[in-house]
With several copies, the nearest count.
Chain A
Amino acid sequence: MTETEVATAAALFEATLLGRQDAGATILLEFAAAAGAGPLKAPAPGQFYQVRCDTGKEHLLRRPLSAFGASAGQGGLRLSFMVDVVGWGTRRLSLLEPGDSVGMLGPLGRGFEVAGVRKALLVAGGIGAAPLAYLARELDRSGVTYEFLAGFRTVSGVCPGLDELRGGVSVFTEDGSRGEAGVACDGLPEILRRGFDAAFVCGPQEMMAAAAGLCEGAGIPCQVSLDSRMACGIGACRGCVKEGAGGRSLCVCLEGPVFDSRQVSWKKRTEGSGPALR
């Protein structure tokens, strides 16, 4: 990790799979931007890529994936993603083999805003741990203190690399198979009393709504990373737009995916939408 300013210029490039690691229920994929892709900015934590999953015409939409890690060293940009296999596209990614090439578009959107934050609270549910683990590593690098509450369904879903973090990490699993039994929010009421400059949350909609409510109640500014189906990823199609607080439109791909929790409308999400980040 050598370059972490917020990257603004998204680029279209090919990336080659360097390696894959089955991390229980999820898969960790590491890519290198193909030589010739030109100089590429590293993503900020919370930014994402539109990943081309199909080489044919059956599945035309790219899939959004948050950066789980990145480094922009001599060998060019390296990117890693944590993928939860929930449907066709994520399955296709899970079948990639080292050497396979994949189209990337990014980094996209606005990541977590950490300027001025000296003591942070990170709350993750399921695959929502991907952008937060990246954030945590960046906070480690810049010497920011944090507590990280990370909840998972079961031990096999637990995000790799949490042990190497320098901040305080509490793992929850719903079945108690690792860490405490329960969900990440269970730890919130107590830990919030310790006081934080900001909270960063990513997980299922209901979990984010609960966490945002608790943080707001404790007077702690809360940033949440929203999930939405996407087509263009660059603000052109308005396909990802969600209704925010006060009826404002939130363009998730361009103005988000990270929003101040007070901008978000936490009404029960339509069941018809895709599965939440887990």
Chain B
Amino acid sequence: MKNPVVLASGTAGYALEMAPLVDLSRLGAVILKSVTVEPGRGNPEPRIWETTGGMLNSIGLENVGVERLVEEVLPALSGLDTVVVASIAGETVRDFAKLASRLEGAGRLAALEVNVSCPNVEKGGIHFGCDEGATATVVQAVRENCSLPLFVKLSSAVSDISRVAEAAARAGTAGLSLINTIPGLAVDPVTRRPRLGAVTGGLSGPAIKPVALKAVWDCYRATSLPIIGGGGVYDAGDAVEFMLAGAAAVSVGTSTFQDPDRAARILEDLPAAIEKAGADGPRRLVGALKVNG
């Protein structure tokens, strides 16, 4: 990675969509939309709803499937001078194993994000991420089938995220990605219907930043693993906050909808923000939150 600012999974598609608008080569990495074994159709419409300081989505992992990812998307990305991370999501441990082995040696990938925390699919998804045993099993299965460094993406919607993180650490994950969207609901008070076709969705954006920061801090203290931290990151100050809480890199998702070039702007402002925090580079800030005295 050239720098610690990355595009989050699911909000930057397969990177190609963003390429005409943003110079992706400047960013630290792009995490692609999560793929499943078979192409995913996704959830019924409507799939998004704006909320105060954030949004709900219930895309439901609509994706091209791992086969097209390898055959079409990755080759198309060859021209991009950007670190590319794939994200995989499965309904079963076998799915994760399959996805991992299909991506082993697929080229173009620097790492794998393992999404065990999608709130928008009925089977699998967040249920893995709530369970320490299941998370560990998934990590092991992926590791056995793929030599790329793994970042397990966890949900904060659990009683104690640090225990899930520790289980993932013991199972040998290279790092963590925190946090996925938080399950939520919005209702149309006139029609009495949920705002989303899938009834519930995942909450993201600045509204959830404090929850994400705490998750990063909890997991950093519990595991010391490298963390891709995000959830509501909007400006360079936010990026520094995540670093201080323990994030080695910072992901930008929902904010890119307001400004597709938000991650690039954060990058621009980051050196000044890091200097304000009294450091000479991002590394010195990671986990440097002052909690006593």
Contacts and interface: CB of A to CB of B under 8 A. Distances in A.
Q: Do A and B have CB atoms closer than 8 angstroms in the complex?
A: yes
Interface of A: 9-12, 52, 54, 57-62, 103, 105, 228-232, 234-243, 247, 249, 254, 270-274
Contacts of B14: 236
A236 B55 contact: no
Contacts of A103: 259
A103 to B, nearest CB: 7
Contacts of A59: 50
Interface stretch (B73-81, B152-160, B194-202, B219-227): B194-202
A228 B44 CA distance: 13
A232 B257 contact: yes
Interface stretch (B16-24, B101-109, B124-132, B167-175): B16-24
Interface in B173-218: 188, 191, 193-197, 205-206
Contact of B55 (A54, A61, A254): A61
A254 B13 CA distance: 12
A52 B259 contact: yes
A61 B258 contact: yes
Contact of B42 (A105, A238, A274): A238
Contact of B193 (A10, A254, A272): A272
Chain A CB count within 10 A is highest, among B50, B194, B234, B256, for B50
Contacts of A234: 13, 17-18, 21, 260
Contact of A271 (B52, B54, B188, B196): B188
Given A10-B21, A12-B21, A242-B45, A52 B258 contact: yes
B193 A60 contact: no
Interface string B88-127: 0000000000000000000000000000000000000000
A87 B57 CA distance: 20
B254 interface: yes
A272 B11 contact: no
A72 B31 CA distance: 37
B257 A57 contact: no
B237 to A, nearest CB: 12
A243 B44 CA distance: 7
Contacts of A272: 46, 188, 191, 193-197
Nearest to B57: A239
